[in-house]
Structure 1
Amino acid sequence: MVKTTAPTATAVATATEVVLPGVVEPDGLTVRRRPAPAPGPGRVLLAMEATGVSFAEQQMRRGKYFDQPPFPFVPGYDLVGRVVATGPGVDPALVGGRYAALTKTGGWASHVAVAAADLVPVPESVASADAETLVVNGVTAWQMLHRTAQVRAGDTVVVLGANGGVGSTLAQLARIAGARVLGTASPRHHDALRRLGVTPVDYRDPELYARLRGLAPDGVRAVFDHVGGEGIVESFRLLAPGGTLVSYGTASTRDVAGSSKAPVLKLFARLALWQALPNSRHAHFYNIWAGRRRADAFRGRLRTDLEQVFALLADGSLTAQVAARVPLSRAAEALRLAESGTVTGKVVLVPDAAVPRGGDASGT
């Protein structure tokens, strides 16, 4: 990087951001304008072109995300945008480039300051909204599939919630790897899953796990479970010898009152017990932030994996599942849509100017 003594000039005077003020319904989100942040040392200012509504924000508005910051704060786990200013110590040549960044919070804004080291280039042939669906979702899916479960061609895997943002990406990546995918979803999403090459199963079926065992009587190589709760026991029982359960959430407790930490800690304890048992099956909890204290290795791993996901998107092997494009100022509508369970893929927030006034925000 080229050292500079001051931020590059920027014409950005104000930024628009969405604030989560406390435990509220989606309509309780507030939109405010404030001076655009000036990038500090080692940082850049991104003009947001797309940011996403993930399950994390659904938990955060309930105060249920494991380590969310105190209210009020700006949510937004990731974004895609163009660099409009650089801070001291950052190469000014980055200005004008389009990048993805993982933020955890802060992405629901028109302009976001991030560390330059966290930027991952986005191919110019890829639309920003498409790329956005594959930032946190793509890294999560790729790492669970290839780094944690190490799925190979010929394996059979189960993806719970295969119509969701992570699930639909995971299902596609598994198919690209040559695996057979059994995916759970409501019947309204089954045709979409079949188009992705997935064998769908109704997640509301009282005999769900019996049906999954019937489709894979010898067990499966991996189960990817974002649901948690007591059903995690049945997910573990689906594994063949040598198989891996990858848990990555506690969706079943999203609307349950009480501690946000208790369901996660209970899940951790259960997975640790299974992992310690003298058997050939494995159980892991996936955390995208694991290893972040070794910043260089963490960033290098994330960049490598996300670049591979973007390459698959650019060459047409991977299809972005954009459930809807919604203007930033209508974030409450986007959050309600994401929580409705009626969409396939990820709801994406875009700058207000990117969606014509009165445009349909219910689909792509």
Structure 2
Amino acid sequence: MSNIIATEVVLPGRVEPEGLAVTTRVLPQPGPGEALVRMEATGVSFAEQQMRRGKYYDQPAFPFVPGYDVVGVVTAVGAGVDPALIGRRVAALTKIGGWSSHLAVPADDLVPVPDGLAADAAETFVVNGITAWQMLHGKAKARAGQTILVHGANGGVGSTLVQLARAAGIRVIGTASARNADAVAELGALPVDYRGDLAAQVRALAPGGVDAVFDHVGGPGIVDSFALLAPGGTLVSYGSAATKDEEGDSRLPVLKLFARLLWWNALPNNRSASFYNIWAGRRRRSRFQARLATDLGAVLDLAERGALHPQIAARIPLREAARALALAESGTVTGKVVIVADPES
């Protein structure tokens, strides 16, 4: 097999979306334990929006190829990898590197995509689905009959959280802008406008408080999120979007957030707070991979059976990744902006 010339989108430094560079390079054959994946769909998550600002907590040094996850077809495998993988559609959590027409991925990171699920649909449930599933069922341990509050219910993770919760019989209050209220309601949540008196709106729907809050915003608003918990409730924080444009050390807002969560847990208030990190436990590699495969498999199965519906804001070719990133950052869309293979790929 001849070497593959891969098209890649490179983040060269702290730039606006239009500063992304489209390049090509020759990929070697996959090494031992690796599989070569031809990208069919990747996407724009909040991580890439932070990375272009140099604000993602542990991002690599510039320049690099972003792309937190990928769905594609295996075209070649290295030594020690089952050749039966060739031709299979798979998904992988990559953290970086997904914005490429082809990429080498450790074969044991690959999760099979059900035959009945299209690549772009599956893509909306990789990082978003793992995150939502593990927060809902792992961190919060939410159960049928409870009420939860999901911030950014029209976003990628938020819309998946809403659907998973509703499928489990959980009542959902979802924050969004007024223009996205109908979309949030269609997902099965009770929409509230985050630009109004959010606490009053939530209290009107849940006078005794909510059983869990899922907050990716951080900043001062995290105090209101914690205050809205019912006795025994859980706050799950998984980001600091409110601080994405702050200057200075990118780690400082996260460390401040950690300190606040620890302080709340030290108080005798019958409520708990935790921070969700999708990469937690990765040092125990085999256990980490098994958990990811199980959780993503459960989400993809629900999607194939029609219990979850992909929320695709737009499908944009790889070479137009700058437009995809700008659209995702605009705050005007519901669901995930999906980057698809260029027509000639």
Which TM class, normalised by the smaller chain length?
over 0.9
1:244-269 CA-to-partner distances (Å, cap 9, x unmatched) read 00000000011122221110000000
245, 252, 270: which is aligned to 2:242?
252
Would you say 1:200 and 2:208 are equivalent positions? no
Would you say 1:113 and 2:104 are equivalent positions? yes
**Aligned residues of 2:146 and 2:171 also touching (Cα < 8 A):** yes
Separation in structure 2 between the aligned mates of residue 275 and residue 82 of structure 1, nearest angstrom: 45
TM-superposed CA distance for 1:354, in Å, is 7.7
- Code of the aligned partner of 2:207: P
329, 337, 340: which is aligned to 1:347?
337
Separation in structure 2 between the aligned mates of residue 354 and residue 287 of structure 1, nearest angstrom: 37
Q: Indicate the residue corresponding to 1:130 in structure 2.
A: 121
* 3-state secondary structure, aligned to 1:32: strand
57, 61, 68: which is aligned to 2:59?
68
Q: Indicate the residue corresponding to 1:213 in structure 2.
A: 203
Q: Indicate the residue corresponding to 1:19 in structure 2.
A: 10
263, 266, 280: which is aligned to 1:273?
263
**Aligned residues of 2:42 and 2:339 also touching (Cα < 8 A):** yes
**Aligned residues of 2:3 and 2:29 also touching (Cα < 8 A):** no
Separation in structure 1 between the aligned mates of residue 134 and residue 82 of structure 2, nearest angstrom: 30
1:184-220 CA-to-partner distances (Å, cap 9, x unmatched) read 0011111111111110001111x11121112111111
Separation in structure 1 between the aligned mates of residue 90 and residue 342 of structure 2, nearest angstrom: 20
1:305-324 CA-to-partner distances (Å, cap 9, x unmatched) read 00110011001010000110
Separation in structure 2 between the aligned mates of residue 354 and residue 156 of structure 1, nearest angstrom: 47
Separation in structure 2 between the aligned mates of residue 200 and residue 255 of structure 1, nearest angstrom: 27
Structure 1 outlier segments of 4+, above 6 Å: none
TM-superposed CA distance for 1:279, in Å, is 2.7
Aligned pairs for 1:221-300 (under 5 A) are: 221-300=211-290
Would you say 1:102 and 2:93 are equivalent positions? yes
Separation in structure 2 between the aligned mates of residue 39 and residue 267 of structure 1, nearest angstrom: 40
**Aligned residues of 2:89 and 2:112 also touching (Cα < 8 A):** yes
331, 337, 347: which is aligned to 2:327?
337
Q: Indicate the residue corresponding to 1:89 in structure 2.
A: 80
Aligned pairs for 1:132-147 (under 5 A) are: 132-147=123-138
**Aligned residues of 2:237 and 2:275 also touching (Cα < 8 A):** yes
**Aligned residues of 1:37 and 1:45 also touching (Cα < 8 A):** no
Separation in structure 2 between the aligned mates of residue 211 and residue 21 of structure 1, nearest angstrom: 43
* 3-state secondary structure, aligned to 1:153: coil
TM-superposed CA distance for 1:98, in Å, is 0.7
Instruction: Call closer, same or farther: CA 1:343–1:164 in 2, change over 3 Å.
Output: same
TM-superposed CA distance for 1:278, in Å, is 2.2
% identical equivalent positions = 68
| Root-mean-square deviation over aligned CA pairs | 1.1
**Aligned residues of 1:77 and 1:136 also touching (Cα < 8 A):** yes
**Aligned residues of 1:43 and 1:86 also touching (Cα < 8 A):** yes
Structure 2 unaligned segments of length 5 or more: list them: none
Q: Indicate the residue corresponding to 1:32 in structure 2.
A: 23
TM-superposed CA distance for 1:12, in Å, is 5.0
**Aligned residues of 1:109 and 1:328 also touching (Cα < 8 A):** yes
TM-superposed CA distance for 1:13, in Å, is 2.5
Instruction: Call closer, same or farther: CA 1:179–1:354 in 2, change over 3 Å.
Output: farther
- Code of the aligned partner of 2:94: T
Separation in structure 1 between the aligned mates of residue 269 and residue 281 of structure 2, nearest angstrom: 27
Structure 1 unaligned segments of length 5 or more: list them: 1-8, 356-364
* 3-state secondary structure, aligned to 1:138: helix
Separation in structure 2 between the aligned mates of residue 172 and residue 211 of structure 1, nearest angstrom: 21
- Code of the aligned partner of 1:121: P
**Aligned residues of 1:163 and 1:345 also touching (Cα < 8 A):** yes
**Aligned residues of 1:325 and 1:350 also touching (Cα < 8 A):** yes
**Aligned residues of 1:327 and 1:354 also touching (Cα < 8 A):** no
Would you say 1:324 and 2:314 are equivalent positions? yes
